[in-house]
Amino acid sequence: MVERTVLDGARVVLPAGVVEHGRVTVEGTRVVADVPEETPAWDLTGHWIVPGFVDMHVHGGGGASFSSGDPEEALTAVRAHRAHGTTTMVASTVTGDLDDLARQAAVLAELTQQGDLAGVHFEGPFISPHRCGAHQPELLRDPDPADVRKLVDAAHGTARMMTLAPELPGGLESIRMLVDLGIVAAVGHTDSSYEATLDAVDAGATVATHLFNAMPALQHRSPGPIAALLEDQRVTVELINDGTHLHPAVLELAFARAGAGRVAFVTDAMSAAGMSDGMYALGPMRVEVKDAVARIADGPTAGSIAGSTLTLDTAFRRAVTVDGLPVEHAVRALSENPARLLGMADRVGSLEPGKDADLVVLDSAYELVGVMRKGTWLVRPEVR
C-alpha cells in the first residue's frame, strides 16, 4: 500500500498564491489532489509550506566540495544542503585543469544519474582574467569550442549550465554550441561591454551568473553587462542574498527591473556552508572563513570573496524579513524560476499534483522546521 501523508492547516504557497489553512497531500513520492477529510493529518497550523528549494549554483557545503572528485565527499555536500531545504541542486565546479575538470564531471555525472544531483554547472575556466574572483588566474583560458565540448562530453549528458565570458575569443561561438546542445549558457566573471553582452544574449545566453559580482559596475556612460542582463526579458539573473554579496537596495533594484519571474536566488556556497569559521578549500584555492564570510587566503587574488557560506533557508528568511519581499516572490526566486530554467518544472519547483513531493515547512518566523524530499522526511517537524 502506498504511504499517504496529509499536511493540514498551514499557509501553503502555490503558483496561484497563498492558501490560508491549506492542505498538501502526499502519496508515495508525489503530491496528489486532496483526499477525504477523515484521513489523519499533521496539524501545521501557524506554519508555512513552500516548495523545496532549487539551487542551480552551489560548489559544496558541510565541509565538502563538489570539486574534490570524491563521490562520498560530494554526497556530504548534498546532505548538508538538503538539511537546509535544498531538495534539488546542480553541482558547480571551479576553474581547474581541463583534464581535472573532466574527471570531476564524470563523478558528478554518476551522482546525477543516481538521482542525487540535478546536473553539472561548469563555472570556469572560460572566464575573464580581469574578473576572475576566486578562480586561479593561471588556469583560465579562452572558450575555444573544442575545449568547451570536451567538458560537456565529460559530463555524459548531465551538463546543465556553463558560465563563460562572452567577450573572449570563441565566446559567442561557444554559447551557440551550448544552446544547440540544450545546455544553459550563462554570462559571468566577465569584463564585457553592454553591446557585447547583448550579442551574447542574442546568441542564446539566458543566465547572469551572480549578477553584480565579478563584472564591471553599472556606470552612467558605460552601463556594461549589468544593464544589458537586467533589461533583457530572456535572461534570468542569479542573486546571492547573504547580506555580503549584495546590499538590500541593490537586490531591490534587481527585482524592480527584472521582475519576480526573472530572479533566481543561489548560494554559490563553498565547502564551509553550514560549518564554523576556519580554513577551507575552493578548488585549488585556500579560503579563510571569518564571521561566515569566505575570502581567498593568499596569492594574487587574496582578499577576494570566495563564494559564500549561505544556505537557501537563510536566503529565504532574509528575503522576507530583511528585504521585504512577499513570500510568493521569494518562493519564485528559490524554487519556481530555477526549476523552469533548468527544464525541470514538470517535476519540481511548485506544490502541484503529480510533481515530486519536495517541500519545506517553516515556522511563523520563517525558520526551517521540516524538509521532505520525494515523500520522505529529511527533517521531521516536531508537530502533529
Q: How do the pLDDT tens digits run along the chain, 384 residues long?
A: 678 999 999 999 999 999 999 999 999 999 998 776 667 889 999 999 999 999 999 999 999 999 999 999 999 999 999 999 999 999 999 999 999 999 999 999 999 999 999 999 999 999 999 998 888 899 999 999 999 999 999 999 999 999 999 999 999 999 999 999 999 999 999 999 999 999 999 999 999 999 999 999 999 999 999 999 999 999 999 999 999 999 999 999 999 999 999 999 999 999 999 999 999 988 777 889 999 999 988 888 788 888 899 999 999 999 999 999 999 999 999 999 999 999 999 999 999 999 999 999 999 999 999 999 999 999 999 875
What's the grid cell of residue 124? Answer: 570556469
Q: Cell 588556469 sits at which residue?
A: 139
- What's the CATH code of the domain at 108? 3.20.20.140
Q: Quick check: 53 and 373 in contact, CB under 8 A?
A: no
Q: Is 155 within the bounds of a domain?
A: yes
Q: Which is catalytic among the residues 268, 323, 356, 358?
A: 268
Residues 152 and 11 in one domain: no
The pLDDT value recorded for residue 365 is 97
pLDDT confidence of residue 37: 67
Q: Strand pairing of 293-296 and 285-290?
A: antiparallel
Q: Please indicate, yes or no, whether residues 328 and 354 belong to a single structural domain of this protein.
A: no
The residue behind cell 556553463 is 162
Decide if 87 contacts 371 (C-beta within 8 A). Answer: yes
The verdict on 30 and 143 lying in the same domain is no
Range of the domain at 359: 4-50+350-379
Residue 25 has a pLDDT of: 96
Pair (106, 135) in one structural domain:
yes
Whether the Cβ atoms of residue 358 and residue 373 lie closer than 8 Å to each other: yes
Residue 58's identity, in one-letter code, is V
> Do both 209 and 316 map to the same domain?
yes
What would the grid cell of residue 22 be? 491549506
| Local structure of 62: helix, strand or coil | coil
Residue 384's pLDDT is 58
Contacts of 118 (CB under 8 A, 6+ apart): 54, 56, 88, 89, 90, 112, 160, 342, 344
356 a catalytic residue: no
| Dist. CA 149–CA 128, nearest whole Å | 19
- Residues 179, 203 contacting (CB under 8 angstroms): yes
Query: Other CB atoms closer than 10 Å to residue 362's CB: what's the count?
Result: 25
Same domain, residue pair 100 and 133: yes
**Is the separation of the CB atoms in 230 and 237 below 8 Å?**
yes
Q: Give the type of residue at 63.
A: G
**Distance between alpha carbon 28 and the CA centroid of its chain, in Å?**
27
CB 164 within 8 A of CB 191: no
What is the DSSP-derived secondary structure letter of residue 111?
A: H
What total of structural domains would you count in the chain?
Answer: 2
| Nearest partner of 67 among 132, 145, 126, 125, judged by Cα | 125
In terms of domains, do 155 and 167 share one?
A: yes
